[in-house]
Amino acid sequence: MTDSVSSPVIVALDYDNAEDALAMAGRLDPAVCRVKVGKELFTIAGPDLVRKLVASGFEVFLDLKFHDIPNTVAAAVRAAANLGVWMVNVHASGGERMMQAARAVLEPFGEMRPLLIGVTVLTSTAEEELAPVGVTRGLDEQVVALAKLAKESGLDGVVCSAREASALKAECGKGFALVTPGIRPAGSAADDQRRIVTPVDAVKGGADYLVIGRPITAAENPGEALGAIVDDLHQAQN
Ligand SMILES: O=C(O)c1cc(=O)[nH]c(=O)n1[C@@H]1O[C@H](COP(=O)(O)O)[C@@H](O)[C@H]1O
């Protein structure tokens, strides 16, 4: 894990065009936060946009949540590594062979390889939504089981809700990164998220990275919104 960035915040650049994404990145400081490129932006703006963000000094989380046969996922993860991203993710529910293949393909990149992260249960998912898709154990149990599988498959960490962070730290250990979306400063709208936690509580619970989109990008002054979150985190640390 790198500590070249002074806060654990990863700003989700969820835009439908490269110009808006680059404009937002231009208002952020790569020494203070990282940025995330997800499915919509990548589908529209593609690898060029990722290269531009990397070239402007940002550590980029390429959030495409790969889930496919092992060969296809491994090839996609290699392509992401070739873009110079800092973090890339796959769905842990894709299984052990898929995750192992994704991890193996990063070996030749050595220390330059991106962190490989497994998605457990999306933060927009509520407990009652699991049974209809065939998951009969409880949500917390499912998150822990997928995180353990991701760890055994050689991954560097998982995406989970900060609500599950302390249980996962206990199960998976300190060096296993917990990346937590569904972060909402007190008083912000939950939007479509279901398992939300404030930034300070997330870090106190053991989250290593906080993925934050709308509370920053939809704020009247995104720089101030980020600054307020970072200040709260620093105060909570001291
Ligand atoms: O992998 C992710 O980043 C992710 C996983 C998850 O379980 N939940 C989740 O919200 N995300 C992403 O995190 C971001 C959250 O954005 P906001 O809800 O606007 O803060 C979005 O880009 C989501 O795609």
pLDDT band at 43 (very low <50, low <70, confident <90, very high): very high
Question: Would you list the domain boundaries of the chain?
Answer: 9-237
Q: Which residues are annotated as a binding site for substrate?
A: 14, 36, 63-72, 123, 184, 193, 213-214
Ligand 1 in reach of 28 Cβ (< 6 A): no
pLDDT band at 94 (very low <50, low <70, confident <90, very high): very high
Atom of ligand 1 nearest to the CA of 192: 18
Q: Give the distance (Å) from ligand 1 centre to CA of residue 123.
A: 7
| 2: pLDDT strictly greater than 60 | no
Give tens-digit pLDDT for 103-161.
999 999 999 999 999 999 999 999 999 999 999 999 999 999 999 999 999 999 999 99
pLDDT band at 238 (very low <50, low <70, confident <90, very high): confident
Q: What is the pLDDT of residue 237?
A: 84
Give tens-digit pLDDT for 145-201.
999 999 999 999 999 999 999 999 999 999 999 999 999 999 899 998 888 999 999
Residues facing residue 35 across a β-bridge: 11, 60
Residues facing residue 209 across a β-bridge: 179
Q: Give the distance (Å) from ligand 1 centre to CA of residue 74.
A: 23
68 is an active site residue: yes
Best residue among 123, 158, 164 to mutate for probing ligand 1's pocket (most ligand atoms within 8 Å of CB) is: 123
pLDDT band at 4 (very low <50, low <70, confident <90, very high): confident
Cα 125 to Cα 88: distance, rounded to the nearest angstrom? 21
Q: Give me the chain's average pLDDT, please.
A: 96
Cα 210 to Cα 11: distance, rounded to the nearest angstrom? 8
pLDDT band at 1 (very low <50, low <70, confident <90, very high): very low
Residue 75: Cβ-neighbour burial (10 angstroms; 0-12, 13-18, 19+): middle
3-state helix vs strand vs coil in the chain, percent to 5: 50, 15, 35
Cα 134 to Cα 128: distance, rounded to the nearest angstrom? 11
63 is an active site residue: yes
Q: What is the pLDDT of residue 56?
A: 97
Output the residue whose Cα is nearest ligand 1's atom 17.
213
- Check: CATH 3.40.50.720 for 9-237? no
User: Where do we find the tokens 């070249």?
Assistant: 4
Ligand 1 in reach of 119 Cβ (< 6 A): yes
Of 20, 29, 52, 68, which residue is the catalytic one? 68
Give tens-digit pLDDT for 96-116.
999 999 999 999 999 999 999
Ligand 1 in reach of 117 Cβ (< 6 A): no
CB 220 within 8 A of CB 233: no
Q: ipTM > 0.85? A: yes
Distances (CA, A) of 85 to 36, 111, 183: 10, 13, 23
If one counts every other C-beta atom within 10 angstroms of the C-beta of residue 152, the result is 12
Residue 206: closest CA among 195, 197, 218, 215? 197
Atom of ligand 1 nearest to the CA of 125: 7
